[in-house]
Chains A and B, each alone.
Chain A
Amino acid sequence: MKPIKKYFSLKTLLGIVIALAFFSILPNLPNILTPYLRVVLIFLFTYVILAESYDIFSGYSGYSNLGHGSFFGLSAYLVGILLGGLRGGYSPVFQPALPLPVAIIVAVIASVAFAAAISVPYFRLRGAYFSVASLGLVLLVYYLANNLRPFTGGPEGLHLPGHGEASTLLAYYLLLPAALASVIINYLVSKSRLGLALISIREEEEVASEYGINTYRVKTIALLISAALAGYAGAAFAYAIGVVNPTGMLGLEIALAPVVMTIFGGSGSFSGALVGAAVLTVIQEALYTRIAYFHLFTYGVLLLVVGLLAPGGVVRLRGLKKLFKPPE
């Protein structure tokens, strides 16, 4: 009991329980939660996991991982393939049709393995150069998804068999606890030795290394945690949507979403990623349903303005700082 008390006040714990209970009951009130709203919430949870997991590695270490979406997309595709997704037009090489839990576990392990593999060449790059190079990872997975047609169904993608209302509801309950967990994990990382080590890398990697921090190991651990969460989000999201195609799972809009949302909200703080994901998901939905043309344009201009006016993200704005208490 003691370690829990050290990190969470009773009020916070109560808040977490209430949030969990509220969102758990929500889908059982069909009059309030329409199928459309449920999908919006699925998007919200997915984006929260993506933003928080991006922040765990990049927000604290300062290494902007623009390839974060590749973990998400890779896992989404694996779930699509392992569940026996139908490829329109291409005769499948193999059609396993595994049960969902097995598919999710395999997909998450694969994302972590992928992250471990790419960390070898990419961690040879320092700071900004890492960011620049990592954007290529998303495109690499995108092209593979597009080109390995017997496995992935090419541009049309995979259609999950037996997808319907029930699977969306199940996916909702798969994503909800994960979203909450990712916020808590981010918070715990910030309070842990790992988080401190990451922040010291952000401030001055050379000095951190001289003070006995194994910078390579610390960065790798954070990247693997972040990849596992993103992989889980990808797996559950693919199951929720039922269609896995290159643009939907690996398009640059979704691949850059965690980066943009975290920086928008304020990187290096769990509240920043949460606020960024929530605000931008709502704005995106509002724009796409209310405006006929130029929603992408409006969204882009909004990002531009916030990027210019809020150097530390929304949570570090003067009026909101007291409310969110982000670390500097």
Chain B
Amino acid sequence: MSLLSVDSLSTQYPGAAGTVRAVDGVSLEIAEGETVALVGESGCGKSTLGKSLMRLVTPSSGRVRFQGRDVTAMSSKELQLIRRSVQMIFQDPFASLNPRQTIRTILTAPLAVHGVSGRKRREAIAAQMVEHVGLPADALDRFPHEFSGGQRQRIGIARALILQPQLVICDEPVSALDLSIQAQILNLLVEMKTELSLSYLFISHDLSVVRYFADRVLVMYLGRIVESASTSDLWRGAKHPYTQALLAAVPDPSRRKQAAPITGDLPSPHNPPAGCRFHTRCPLATDICRTEDPTFRQLADGHAVACHHAQ
């Protein structure tokens, strides 16, 4: 049984210019111990999808099941219990840490909320966690501003892991960090995954990082998943023209001064193109792409794609 299973999930934002279907009928599964990456450009709905899973944003339709239990139909009390098992790590650790709280308060608060009794016990767990994520022992009495970006992300990770979750949703956890720090944090996340048998949903725009970090990759474009494959299959042969363009757009020494792989801007999510949403930028687009929405179909075992022309 998969740990998390999402079925035709949609999330809409109302707005003056009309409703935006930020997530539009997305289905996915995350198995126990698996790292699934969700990649795409800004506005594709990847962060909204991440937030919709635990109803930080309320989905408009579809189902989310965690360990077989329907999260979308839960009362707020049940939801709180489930949230203990599903935690989040955000891009900007500074914005997600209260500047007026010490690390001790930041780390013990989730324990108190989720009913771990005894202040001494909570502080002991926090002290252990601080050591676990590679922060100095005196970190507990300090404030977020006293730490560097990489150390702040370690605090964010400690806070997410302190309740011993099973699934951690990481939303661009290393994009704000310098390259030399990025490797430290990625290694820490891998270490924690192995030690605590975690599963990750890893939301990222950085394909080089995804290549290293993920077991499976979902590619999103304008609210839809357009390709799903194991990391090795995707790098052996991406099938969707959008995935191919994304991979070809990553700056790389082997492509000295080469032309950009696709032209044109991302269409507005307010008014996505009819037919295949990628047809306005697609080098393979034909008439059928302009009128008919491609279904998400299995090309090979574990490799699915939403494209009329992919083979």
Q: Do A and B originate from a single complex?
A: no
